[in-house]
Amino acid sequence: MPVVVVESPAKAKTIEKYLGGDYRVLASFGHVRDLPPKDGSVDPDHEFDMKWEVAADSRKHLKAIKDALKDDQNLILATDPDREGEAISWHLLEALAPALKKGAEVNRVTFNAITKAAVTEAMARPRQIDQPLVDAYLARRALDYLVGFKLSPVLWRKLPGAKSAGRVQSVCLRLIVDREMEIEAFKAREYWSVHARLATPGGDEYDATLVSLAGKRLERFDLATAEQAAMAVSAVASRELKVASVAAKPASRNPWPPFMTSTLQQEASRKLGMGAKACMSAAQRLYEAGLITYMRTDGIDMAPEAVMAARDAIKAKFGENYLPKSPRMYKNKAKNAQEAHECIRPTDMMMSTDRLKLNADDQRKLYDLIWKRTIASQMEAARMERTTVEIASPDNQVGLRATGQVMLFDGFLRVYDQGRDDDEGEDSARLPVIAEGEAARLVAKSFEAEMAKAREKGGEAISAPAGQRGAPGMLADDGARVAARQHFTQAPPRYTEATLVKRMEELGIGRPSTYASIVTTIQDREYVLKDKNRLIPEDKGRLVTIFLLKYFPRYVSYDFTADLENELDEISAGDRLWREVLGRFWKDFSKALEGTSELRITEVLDAIDEALAPHLYPPRADGGDPRECPLCGQGRLNLKTARSGGAFIGCTNYPKCRYTRPLSAPDGEQPLGDRVLGEDAGDPISLKTGRFGPYVQRGEATEENPKPPRASIPKGWDAAALELEKAVQLLALPRPIGPHPEDGVLVEAGIGRFGPYVKHGSKYANIADVDEVFTIGMNRAVEVLASKQTRGRAAAAAPLREMGDHPDGGAIQVMSGRYGPYVKWEKVNATLPRDVTPEDLTLDQALELITAKAAKSPKKAAKKPAAKKAAAKPAAAKTAKAKAKAKAKPAAKAAKPKAAPKE
């Protein structure tokens, strides 16, 4: 029977079910070949010849495919329908070539969804491997290899602690570093806005904002100070107001197009808090289960039959009012038509989430997002009415505006509304019925509650002139009818994974299949820290970026990277030759590499130090030299790196002066400098800041005592407010509590790597409060230790079903797991197929699953049949003899360490 090869076993199982017994479907488990991770795998001197290597894990998968081809030489390559999938098919064909006889039939099929109809149709329309797509893959792989294996060693030699560079990775990192430097350079600017609560003659209230003063339209910064704001408040409060005009205009909002890869990652981040990697992993499982179409795509168009299915679903679920007269068509924005596929959509439009049998919560939530976006994309527009009311004084010296919005028909918004990265400030307030020419009365005490809240928050109240009152950040007239609010411009926000992917897409950097891996890589390299969903550059990432900008500016240029992506797209379209593109790139890149060969580390550090000077040495309040050492007053501050890769600021007067501080401090705070807290027992006790944060030190380092006693400041303590008494207590840790009442062994309290603890001999028990370390007594310590000893593991989860006993002994149970239900026997855990529920599982099926799982991982087999016990006796005797022989060996020889693995 013909041999069909796909990437994953889950996909293979689903496709085999659709094709029936006439085909044999096997999995390659992804790429079977790759470039060896060593220099020379791509040879620029010989037309970029590549040396491929079959991965160790892939040999057994290739063997299984070769064995299957012995019976039938009809090979069908059914890997994913994109450039990467085409490359896997090409690699498979190259690796299987020796096993294929003359006349063997090899075909390539692709399908955008793993459904019976899509698979059957694809099998009826086979084709050959698309060589331009393969060429584009080869060009990308060679480029990424050359940048990684040629540029990374330069980083290792010239910038201690740097880990790697990448063609797109480094540009992505630059985006984050550039944004952080924008934030650091940002200077907040003050401005004020003035508001009034007005009432119609009938008593209905509404809010209005001052938009003109003294006959002039107000711009954002026209009211820049509290004094100007106070004058504006007086101007409004002292005048009668009338409605000058009322304008109501119809408006509509059209739905967003269906998802492509980048927009799915952005929405999953905004709404579900899923990172790009987690999003694509969940989407992959949904695709392999046949629930959604292919998830790596830059297309937003939908197949005609899918559009009609979506319209049928809308009509059935929401009624004809929500169905537009004609289908909505979305223009494909793909860079290259050959790599564009259908949008990401459900394969069955009627399959809403409530009808779906999915145990994995992340897959359920992601499917719900995809289904709603797809259905909404074909729904009627939302219709609303936007009203603008202009209010003015009779002398036209004061003008206010009230805006509101009324939803007339929710349309697609009934199903889906796109999330936002930051507040876009859309006004959706409701307005009462307002007539042109009617009086607009100021409402007394309208801002009393807001003023009270401002005072409760604390802070310095704004100084108010006569007839007005001030609160922190606010001013109001005595009647609290008109108020002014203080504002400050905000720095640009740090990137989230969603906004970073969006920005990369806007710049044309990377492609849908690469976004998740790029964002993950820069975090794994410790170049970027993810905190509260925001991406913050680490010092190491900042140094790498500045180094590349200084010595390789072209290769971290946004335009250059985007242009190169376009050239790669042209290769996949057959419009360029991949070796020519590589040749032009390598010619200039190799020259740039040669230009750094003579660089010394000190030169590199000096160049980076100069480039980062505005960030590292901000102007001092007293106007002094920002590089002057604040501790000794003689040395100058400059950039230093440690072998660990950390960077810090140190004094040139080292080792006489040991002043250090980190490159940056959280939230824009100025890093702490060294200071002496006082003396204890004749030793100066100092507060210092090192590469790993603030710490206290007893005495000073000398040649005789290069490492004086030190103690890190515990988390939660304010280093700036630290006093001598607390510092001495820290340096005295661990603190002896006394001998244990049962065995007399000393009990101590201290702060370790995992927080505060009490210790009895070799036994540790954590305590919750750091401050308790200095006060805990014996009774409490014994209680904590006893609690740790008696506290076992959490109670095991109850099984979903008890299936009975295994023939070899031991109960078989069905358990609930993170990735769905599974069968458990001894140490063997076998996942249930997606089409089998715990309630329908039979004992025979359970035994088959256990046998198959144990065969794949024989180390997990729990025990052998009882019949073989007698045969095990000689082996047991042999083991006992071996143990006795081992005991007789010299201790030194027995303790010989194993050789460290090669890197």
What residues are annotated to the active site?
Answer: 294
> Which amino acid, residue 556?
V
Q: Which candidate, 394, 355, 395, 389, places its Cα nearest to that of 371?
A: 355
- Are 565 and 511 a contacting pair, CB within 8 Å? yes
d(CA 84, CA 31): 9
Residue burial 585-600, b: 16+ Cβ < 10 Å; e: rest: bbeebeebbeebeeee
Phi, psi of 465 (to 5 degrees): -75, 175
Q: Which candidate, 722, 723, 785, 725, places its Cα nearest to that of 749?
A: 785
How many other CB atoms sit within 10 Å of the CB of residue 759?
Answer: 19
10 Å CB burial of residue 488 (0-12, 13-18, 19+) is exposed
d(CA 732, CA 736): 10
- Are 375 and 416 a contacting pair, CB within 8 Å? yes
Residue length of the chain: 903
Vertex 57: Cα angle to 56 and 58 (nearest 5): 90
Question: DSSP alpha helices (H): ranges in 754-842?
Answer: 778-790
Instruction: Write the CB contacts of 402 (distance below 8 Å, at least 6 apart in sequence).
Output: 198, 206, 207, 208, 209, 388, 389, 391, 431, 434
Task: Work out the end-to-end distance of the chain between its first and last CA atoms, rounded to an integer number of angstroms.
Answer: 44
Q: Where are the beta strands (DSSP E) in 818-860?
A: 820-825, 828-831
How many other CB atoms sit within 10 Å of the CB of residue 533?
Answer: 14
Q: Provide the token pair at 499.
A: 């906004």
- Are 696 and 710 a contacting pair, CB within 8 Å? yes
- Are 579 and 571 a contacting pair, CB within 8 Å? no
- Are 84 and 137 a contacting pair, CB within 8 Å? yes
601-605's contacts with Cβ under 8 Å and 24+ in sequence apart are 601/158, 601/159, 601/160, 604/158, 604/159, 604/547, 605/638, 605/639, 605/640, 605/641
